[in-house]
Structures are given as C-alpha cells and as structure tokens.
Amino acid sequence: MGGLNLEVFKVRFNQIPGPIDPVLQNYFGDLLTDMAPPPQQFGMYVMFPIGVMYYFGTNLDNRFAVPEFWPKAEHSHKIPFDRDEIKSEYIRLAKRQRAFDEIKREREAAQAAQNPAPSNAEQS
C-alpha cells in the first residue's frame, strides 16, 4: 500500500542510537540517555517547522501584520532626562492634576446644588 512515509514522525524518548561507552554510562548515568534525541525525534524537530512553512507559507509576517500598529515616535511619550525637562514635566503634571481636581469640585458642587441633602426637619 503506497503513501507517505511517516516514520520520521514517530517520537521515542530515552534512546540513543549505537553503543555507549560503559565508562561514560557509569559516569553520567541516565543523563546521557536524555541528552541526545534519537533520529526519529530529530526528524520530527526538522520536519515540523518545514511542514508548517509549507502549509501556511513563509510570508506570515506580511499576511498577519497589522499596518501602523505601533505609534510613531512623535505620537509616543518622551522620557525627560535633563533636570530642566523633569522640572517642567512635573509642573505640567501638577497643573493638569489641579485642573482635574477643580473640575471634580465643580461637578460635586453642581450635583449637590441639584440634589440637596434632606434636612433633619424634613426627615421627621
């Protein structure tokens, strides 16, 4: 019966082809059998990436890359390194935080004016 030769895809563990020197076997023990993959396992390691490249193609970066995914340098952040740059960045961030706090206080005041808290006389 004809067909593909799938012998290279059989994976076996803990086997080394050929005889092993008894001195090395005693010195390294089972570590030596775990280090070298058998020829079938080597065939799997070589053939699997080749099979993936054959099936999917070698242009995966071009096919699945999203254009302009990363921001340009001018649209990204710039870390200040100079003392003056750090100071100006701190002033900018503090000013921004004060503006956010002011907006928050204004919203809370507007919400309090819209929904006044009930007084003790109204509750009883």
Residue-number span of the structural domain to which 57 is assigned: 7-64
pLDDT tens for each residue of 26-80: 666 555 555 555 666 777 888 888 998 898 888 887 888 888 888 888 888 888 8
To 10 degrees, the CA torsion angle through 61, 48, 4, 18? 150
Specify whether 83 is located in the same domain as 35.
no
Specify whether 60 is located in the same domain as 11.
yes
Specify whether 11 is located in the same domain as 31.
yes
Determine the 3-state secondary structure of 72 from DSSP.
coil
| Domain count for the chain | 2
Global confidence as pTM: 0.37
**Spatial separation of the C-alpha atoms in residues 49 and 73, rounded to whole Å:** 35
How far, rounded to the nearest angstrom, does the alpha carbon of residue 9 sit from its chain's CA centroid?
Answer: 31
pLDDT tens for each residue of 71-106: 888 888 888 899 999 999 999 999 999 999 999 999
Provide the CB-side half-sphere exposure for 93 (13 A, CA): 7
Specify whether 13 is located in the same domain as 59.
yes
User: Closest by alpha carbon to 9, among 38, 41, 57?
Assistant: 41
